[in-house]
Chains A and B, each alone.
Chain A
Amino acid sequence: MEYEPVIGLEVHVQLNTKSKIFCKCSTSFGSEPNKNTCPVCLGMPGVLPVLNKEVVDKAIKVGLATNCAISPKTKFDRKNYFYPDLPKGYQISQFDMPICKKGRIDILLKNKLKSIGLTRIHMEEDAGKLLHGDNLGDSHSSYVDLNRTGVPLIEIVSEPDIRSAAEAKIYLEKLKTILEYVEVSDCNMEEGSIRCDANVSIRPVGQKEFGTRTELKNMNSFRFVQKGIEHEIERQTQVLKDGGMVIQETRLYDSNRDITFPMRSKEEAHDYRYFPEPDLEPVLVDKSWIKRISESLPELPDAKKDRFMTNYGLPEYDASVITSSRSLAHYFEEAAKGVKSPKTVSNWVMGEVMRVLKEDNIEPDQLVVKPVMLRQMLELVESEVISGKIAKTVFEEMIKTGDDPETIVDKKGLVQITDISTIEEEVKKVIEANPKQLKQYKEGKTKLLGFFIGQVMKATNGKANPEVVNKILKAILG
């Protein structure tokens, strides 16, 4: 029997506010343990939380950027459980009245648009960090750092609309792009600013009802999310094929061994006993508030992609790759200013530029080759001062030296040879040096034209204008 996976994702995003959600402690990462704490986030008796307005602003921002309805009235609730990373014995979260509901994120899947529904987005506080045994002191103890306790989070819950592990990764990448555009989070995976849990189930193709799902945790990169889900789908399929039943449980992904295993938990199922947080007043969001936030939104990835397709005539694939990063899109636009062929710019950005960014692990604005330099170089190609082939050399040289393209072309003598008599001379030399190939060519092996062009280019260190070479060769060879 063929099975179809059904996947929903829960993504926790740390917001980049200066202070925590309910107190004025700093949210900075990497402070000395427990330095960023106060009686409120330590859960001392008698303290009162006060909501950080910036958190609500940012949650609304994400809601608007993902086509959500913003709730006119929203409130906080207590989620009760005991764990040492949670000093109060409850997490302040949102239960039945989240700030955003019913959103949508569009992803590009095999060149087709697919909408992934969002069930809700809610605000909550992060918990502390635990170190176990051998990592710090003795192996009979655990160690608690509460710096992260109270750092604002939003949880973005998707509908079970995702149908493969690869799709899950594309969704996450798109979500990250949106979050980066609206500047609500550092989106730093290593520091855990984006964390993802996946609900995975499978069902026979054509069946409407969902199968029993498992929840996958502990996947700390998008690649691991994909691998973890892939593995879980395989595992569930095997269980069903063996005539077994999938048990609803939480499983952890181990990236070293590439397996998922059930989380050890007490037989007592969680009962969070949610109830309205009596220490916080409800939040009422009126139209003017929403208007203010929506006016602060930048051009979003989808809109930018459409504009790049219309204004620059880029193919959808190019447009979506380039707009997947706001700074890369900016780089492209700067480089494409007044350029006749934006597609050439896009080829360079998606090729050489992205290669260097990846190799050096840097952001577009850190690249030595500024957009204007790329543009100048492409202008040199366009005005036939240098050949497209030489342009690669110029680009490498720009990366190395930071000089502008004209200086490099002058210094290295890379100006293209277009002078007919010079090229003619080179062509004659090449033909004389290769009588065997000439004979074969005359006998009808016209494919050898490429060989001759290559030899001429080699003889001129790639500086000859290939078109001119082509023309002259054809004329001489007949």
Chain B
Amino acid sequence: MLQDVEPNYHVYLIRRIKWLVTPRKKRLNAAGGQRKRHIKVKRNFNMKLTAEQVRRVAILAKLRISDEEVEQFSNQLSSVLENIGQLNELDTDAVEPTSHSVSLANVFRIDQAETVFTEDAWKENAPTQYLGHFKVPKIIEE
């Protein structure tokens, strides 16, 4: 079953994305220098990420980073965010949120069990194992 998607929506999106990747000067020229801005900016992404935010992200991602890297990443991540933030200029009020880039839905498998690994293939990727278990450093937190 295919999801009912407004066919024009794709056209709209493609046009929008093309517009976004076009340098600002060119865009203005294409619009005759007086393009009507009906698009509202929803969130301001120009704000620079704080060192604290970067450290928190690092902890969540289980990364150990030095103070210099905090500074470096806060600059780099900020500019990535700013770049992506341009998408916020799109007016998506009338567009249903999509969770997937392909307009497919209801992709299933039937409920049938199969043995996938003959032998102990799972072990091949286990650096350490013991009596059929993956062996890992002791987990203190329950």
Binding site for B on A (CB under 8 A): 17-19, 23-28, 32-35, 37-39, 42, 44, 50-56, 75, 80, 82-84, 130-133, 136-137, 139-146, 252, 263-266, 268, 271, 273, 276-278, 280-284
Contacts and interface: CB of A to CB of B under 8 A. Distances in A.
B112 A24 contact: yes
A281 B114 contact: no
Contacts of B130: 136-137, 141, 143
A197 B136 CA distance: 27
A145 B122 contact: no
A326 to B, nearest CB: 23
Interface in B92-131: 99-102, 104-117, 120, 122-123, 125, 130-131
Interface string B32-56: 0000000000000000000000001
B31 to A, nearest CB: 33
B25 interface: no
B132 A140 contact: no
Nearest to A54: B111
B1 A284 contact: yes
Contacts of A82: 62
Contacts of A37: 116-117, 122
Contact of A146 (B1, B109, B113, B134): B134
Given A34-B133, A136-B130, A266-B141, A282 B105 contact: yes
Contacts of A264: 140-142
B133 A143 contact: yes
18 contacts: A17-B111, A26-B113, A33-B132, A53-B109, A53-B111, A56-B108, A141-B135, A145-B134, A263-B141, A263-B142, A264-B141, A265-B141, A268-B60, A278-B100, A280-B100, A281-B106, A283-B106, A284-B105
A141 B108 CA distance: 39
A23 B111 CA distance: 9
Contacts of B142: 252, 263-264
A51 B116 contact: no
Interface in B59-116: 59-60, 62, 99-102, 104-116
Contact of A32 (B60, B102, B132, B140): B132
B109 A51 contact: yes
B3 interface: yes
A25 B116 contact: yes
A24 B138 contact: no
Contacts of B110: 52-54
Contacts of B117: 35, 37-38
B108 A52 contact: yes
A50 B136 CA distance: 29
Interface of B: 1, 3, 56, 59-60, 62, 99-102, 104-117, 120, 122-123, 125, 130-142
A232 to B, nearest CB: 17
A268 B55 CA distance: 11
Given A263-B142, A281-B102, 12 more contacts: A25-B115, A25-B116, A35-B117, A50-B109, A84-B136, A132-B138, A136-B131, A137-B135, A140-B137, A252-B142, A268-B59, A284-B1
Contacts of B3: 282, 284
B139 A142 contact: yes
B113 A143 contact: no
Contacts of B133: 33-34, 131, 136, 143-145
Contact of B131 (A23, A28, A83, A137): A137
Nearest to B107: A281
Nearest to A145: B133
Contacts of A263: 141-142
Contacts of B1: 284
B139 A282 contact: no
Contacts of A53: 108-111
**Most interface-central of A24, A37, A80 (chain B CB within 10 A):** A24
Given A143-B136, A144-B134, A266-B141, A24 B113 contact: yes
Given A38-B117, A284-B105, A139 B134 contact: no
B139 A84 contact: yes
A34 to B, nearest CB: 5
A132 B138 CA distance: 7
B135 to A, nearest CB: 5
A282 B134 contact: no
Contacts of A52: 108-111
Contact of B137 (A17, A142, A283): A142
B132 A18 contact: no
Q: 6 closest A-B pairs (Cβ-Cβ)?
A: A38-B116, A276-B99, A143-B133, A54-B111, A33-B132, A53-B108
